[in-house]
Every structure is written in C-alpha cells, then in structure tokens.
Amino acid sequence: MPDNLSLTFSALADPTRRAMLARLSEGEASVSELAEPFLKSMSLPAVTKHLKVLEKAGLITKSKDAQFRPCKLNAEAFRDVADWVEQYRIFWEESFDRLDEYLKTVAAEKNKKKGRPNGRKK
C-alpha cells in the first residue's frame, strides 16, 4: 500500500491535475467548472478520474450541496509535501553557502597571485 507522500507526488506528476489544483487555489469549484478547460481534449469521465486521483491523495475534498459538488484544496496534504521538501531546501542552501565561501576563497587567492587586492583592476 503506497504511503501518503507517494500518492501525493504521483497525483502531482500529471499536468492536468496540477492545472486543476491551480484553479482550486483561487477558490472552490464544481466538477463541471474544473472540467470545462479540458473538455476539448478529454472526456468528462477522464476528468473525473483525475479528480479521484487528487481526492485519493488527499489534495482535494469534495462535498455535497444538493446537486452541486464543490471541490476545494486540502491544505494539510500540501503541508506534508512542504515539510518533506523543506529538508532538501535546507541542504541545498547550506551547500550553496559553502560553495559561495569556497569561490570567494578561490577568487581571493587568484587576486593575490595577480597582485590585485580585493579583486580591483589596475
């Protein structure tokens, strides 16, 4: 059984689903409102399958209001992804900071050899 993070990344892998999420970031929408931009290139059942994937991953929720079935984003699922990505952001920032320090050292050494203090041109 896949873990929640795997389901989430699998759902996010598809550009159609990402577009649906982008639309929902503007506010809740009905299934037909979400389907409208895609109906020229896919059937309504295909759109519904995409929504089911998003719902199974926990990225959206659907509620019932008579015949209206509004969909909205589930912020908690995105928080899990953000937390997972955060650890790698920290790693890369630290790596870039070390690279920046190394490049400054290399530049300073190069300037010393050329007799240019602080990298100023003669």
Amino acid at 99: L
CATH architecture of the domain 4-73 equals Orthogonal Bundle (1.10)
Model pLDDT for residues 74-95, shown as the tens digit of each residue? 988 888 888 888 888 888 888 8
Q: How far is CA 77 from the centre of its chain?
A: 12
Q: Where in the chain is the domain with CATH 1.10.10.10?
A: 4-73
Q: What is the pTM of this model?
A: 0.71
Model pLDDT for residues 19-75, shown as the tens digit of each residue? 999 999 999 999 999 999 999 999 999 999 999 999 999 999 988 877 778 999 998
- Is residue 97 within 8 Å of residue 51, measured between CB atoms? no
End-to-end CA distance of the chain: 67
Residue 62: enclosing H or E segment and its boundaries? strand 60-62
